[in-house]
Amino acid sequence: METLSASLPPLSSRRVIPGFGLSLGITLSYLGLVVLLPLAALLLSAMDIPADKFWSLASDPRTLTAFRLSFGLALLAAAINWLLGLLIAWVLVRYRFPGRALLDAAIDLPFALPTAVAGIALATVYAPSGWIGQWLAQVGIQIAFNPAGILLALIFVGLPFVVRTVQPVMRDLPIEREEAAISLGAGRWTVFWRVLLPAVLPASITGMALAFARAIGEYGSVIFIAGNMPMVSEIVPLLIVVRLEQFDFAGANALALMMLLTSLLLLMAINALQRRYSGGATHG
């Protein structure tokens, strides 16, 4: 018995699931080649830019306007998708109605459509001469070729992330909890805010973070409906492409690095918020 115990590896090194070393090696190799190495190359290329040129580019009014537009509208679109995604997921999970399967499948269309096709479709509908845009133009409302068009495109591409993240969690919630709250006299809004929302809040914040991350880097669907006017409707990805077309590779790398760092900080803040509410939900 003592010989057998001596031949066994220490308890801390034994694992229930074998293959940890191989799995970890594949994981780190994949992340290194696909994610970390390109980001490191971007960082190293941006470090060659003189500090005065980097600061001049970062403080340029056109750059600042593009950053405010990109990140501000991405956050607003993610917040709108958070609310609409909760509502749509609730309807799809809790109700049965004709055409429900078709509506459920339509949620994934922004995943399947090329972004350029989505942009052309939105411009066709909401341009001043479009199907809906022509009626809005008569009352002085213009969506296409304005920041409002960018917001619409970002909502379009980000909505499935919230719905598909919340939907499985909401499906696993027993409907008896909502029925019990209603039987005790709670109204629909009370049931939503006090019973349903606390249970799905961590998942909804995850979906909101994914929608925000998707909106930050969106390009194809935006350029067809934004108008792309500097200081008005020009987003950071488009500004990076403009720099590349002008063979200003240093400027494009600097803009990409600023966008990367800003996105990373905002996503870390959202993830911290998600962990806080996840911990609170688990404790509760």
Report how far residue 74's alpha carbon sits from residue 235's, in angstroms, rounded to the nearest whole number: 11
Q: Residue 190: which pLDDT band, with cuts at 50, 70 and 90?
A: confident
Cα dihedral 283, 90, 150, 105 sign: positive
pLDDT in tens, 163-188: 999 999 888 888 777 778 888 777 77
Tell me the per-residue pLDDT of 12-35, one tens digit each, with 9 for 90 and over: 555 566 677 788 888 888 888 888
Q: Is the whole-model pTM more than 0.95?
A: no
Same domain flag for 56 and 39 = no
Is the domain of 29 the same as that of 90? no
Identity of the amino acid at 151: L
In this structure, the answer to whether residues 112 and 66 fall within a common structural domain is yes
- What is the pLDDT of the chain when averaged over all its residues? 83
Q: Is residue 5 situated within a structural domain?
A: no
Q: Do both 35 and 91 map to the same domain?
A: no
Residue 186 carries which DSSP code? -
Range of the domain at 15: 11-47
Euclidean distance between CA atoms 11 and 213, whole angstroms: 41
Q: Are residues 144 and 181 in the same domain?
A: yes
**Stretch 228-243: mean pLDDT:** 87
6 located within any domain? no
User: How many Cα atoms occupy the beta-carbon half-sphere of 221 within 13 Å?
Assistant: 25
For residue 68, what pLDDT is reported?
92
Cα–Cα distance measured from residue 19 to residue 25, given in angstroms and rounded to the nearest whole number: 10
Residues 138 and 265 in one domain: yes
Number of domains making up the chain? 2
